[in-house]
Structure 1
């Protein structure tokens, strides 16, 4: 099951802004980028709707694993994990998160990846 639309981060401009301006937290297998963002600047249709929760995205390139099935499985795993951790956290409203997996991350146990994700969330002050 995908993230609810209120939690999904979409749009090329959002990703460009995250890559340029976000604070980075590096782990062995992934990078977490966080940014306090205002979506109304990039998506005018959201101007009158207050943010209810943070916006999240998971990026897994073909360098991580060649097969799309494996990349999608990892993406779903992280979306579910982020949903359980962050969906009800009202104080994180307006925050943008981007998780990028590094090459070789698909060879690591899923539990280790989720532990690293939790430690990166904690170092970012989100946990």
Structure 2
């Protein structure tokens, strides 16, 4: 199951804004970027919706794994994890999160990846 529309972050302008201005938290297998969101960068139909929770995105390049099936499996894993951890957190409303996996992350155990994601969320003050 994908993230609810309220939690998903989409759009090139949003990603560029995150890459330029976000605070970065580095781990061995991933980088977490966090930023207070800018509603003007969202699609027009989403701009007027109240922010009930944070918006999240997961980026996994072909350098992580060359097969799209494996990249999509990892993306679904992180989306479900973020949904269970952050969906009910109203204090994070309006925050944007971007998780970028680094090359070699597909070789790690899923539990190790989720533990690192959890520690990055804690270091970012989102726990």
**TM-score normalised per structure 2:** 0.96
Cα offset for 1:50? 1.4
Cα offset for 1:109? 0.4
Cα distance in 1 for residues equivalent to 2:72 and 2:104: 15
Matched, 1:13 2:13: yes
3-state SS in 2 of match to 1:49: coil
Cα offset for 1:49? 1.9
Matched, 1:42 2:44: no
Unaligned runs of 5+ in 1: none
Cα offset for 1:45? 3.2
Q: CA RMSD in A?
A: 0.8
Cα distance in 2 for residues equivalent to 1:49 and 1:75: 25
Task: Name the counterpart of 1:65.
Answer: 65
Unaligned runs of 5+ in 2: none
Cα distance in 1 for residues equivalent to 2:75 and 2:117: 13
Cα offset for 1:30? 0.1
Cα distance in 2 for residues equivalent to 1:37 and 1:78: 20
Cα distance in 1 for residues equivalent to 2:80 and 2:26: 21
Counting matched residue pairs gives 126
3-state SS in 2 of match to 1:88: coil
Task: Name the counterpart of 2:30.
Answer: 30
Cα offset for 1:108? 0.3
Cα distance in 2 for residues equivalent to 1:84 and 1:20: 28
Matched, 1:97 2:97: yes
Matched, 1:117 2:93: no
